[in-house]
Amino acid sequence: MATKSKDLREKLKTDVPTRRQYRKKRFSDTSDESEVEEVPIKTIKKERKPRHDLKEETGEVVDEAKKTQSGITQRRLFSEEQCELIEKKIDEVVHIAHRGVYKEHTVDRAPLRYKYFFGEGYTYGSQLEKKGPGMERLYPKGEVDDIPQWINDLVIKPIENAGLVPKGFVNSAVINDYMPGGCIVSHIDPPHIFDRPIISVSFFSDSALSFGCKFSFRPIRTTKPVYVLPIDRGCVTLLGGYAADGITHCIRPQDVVERRAVIILRKVCDDAPRLDPVTSTQIRPAYDARKRRRPQSSDSNSSGSDVDHRSHRHSSHKKTRHSFPMSGSHFQHDNRGGGDYRNRREEHVHRSRHSRSHRSASPQHHRYGRREVKYTVR
């Protein structure tokens, strides 16, 4: 054991190279620098997975973008004054829907988006019993409200006068009202229901229409679009050809920074499939407009919230005898006849535990009852 420890001491006395020196150099027994031998450092090379030919991919994307662009027609048709007038009319539609005046299938609600059908309405998305393209059906005649006269006068007639669509082409109008962050997933307007072109007019703010996106949810994300079409306020957009039938279009959440409304004008085909009245009553309505109520005024909301906060505060905190203020509601002083303060008589009145309804009505009271002290000065 002694010899081993002696050898260890002698070994420690020698020059022991550090780890870094070992990685770079290895010294020989002699101290001559000419005999230094370099040790190669091992490097681990990561094997890259084979990738697709980017040139071919970019070429396909460019071709698809050109096809999409060829089926789009845009024109700035509405002035600032016309946009403001139409936007006021859209607000009136929203207020009427708040009051529950419209028919059952006229109003459809989605997260951060409200849809108003006029003229014709159809089932889509979760309303379909059998999901898939080609399963959409029109509602029976009369189950949605007629197209308002202001849409005919302020929106449809200027488009017809500009020669974008023939007169009498439009028989269906939809208003999509987007809140900031609202979206509509990638879709193709059902060709067995609607004729081409699809006309849309944008109001309230600028946005963009994306083509060829794929959506994923929780959280909501989108892939890189094939083509992005900027849409300005007051701009008329017509989709036809490949842009309407060959590729999907959508509104991404990141493209709706402010409130935006779009009026979509379409022609319903004469042979479009339609639900029978019995089946339409069995379908879950898009949104029951009668359940939607206008929010209360700020004063009533504030008073109600104050009561809720007070009740929550008094029910959650532990009550002590110091929690009650020295107010007239808890202590009644009778000073008739003056008298000395020291000669007064205390009369203690114990109250039983409050009922559950009384505790909820008076949140200031102790949860387990309180003791009321009545002072009478004699």
Active site amino acids: 122
**Pairwise CA distance, residues 284 & 38, whole Å:** 79
- Give me 86's structure tokens: 């139409």
Radius of gyration of the chain measured on its C-alpha atoms: 38
Cis-peptide into 166, omega within 30 deg: no
Q: Is 40 exposed, middle or buried, given 0-12, 13-18 or 19+ CB atoms closer than 10 A? A: exposed
Q: Is 181 exposed, middle or buried, given 0-12, 13-18 or 19+ CB atoms closer than 10 A? A: middle
**Pairwise CA distance, residues 149 & 151, whole Å:** 5
Whole-Å CA distances, 70 to 65, 201, 332, 341: 9, 19, 86, 97
Whole-Å CA distances, 112 to 128, 174, 215, 256: 21, 16, 16, 10
3-state secondary structure 211-257: ECCCEECCCCEECCCCEEEEECCCEEEEECCHHHHCCCEEECHHHCC
Please, which residues have CB within 8 angstroms of residue 232's CB and are 6 or more apart in sequence? 76, 202, 206
Cβ atoms of residues 222 and 278 within 8 Å: no
The torsion defined by the Cα of 332, 334, 335 and 338, in degrees rounded to 10, comes to -130
CA proximity to 189, closest of 261, 238, 140, 143:
238
3-state secondary structure 252-292: CHHHCCCCEEEEEEECECCCCCECCHHHHHHCCCCCCHHHC
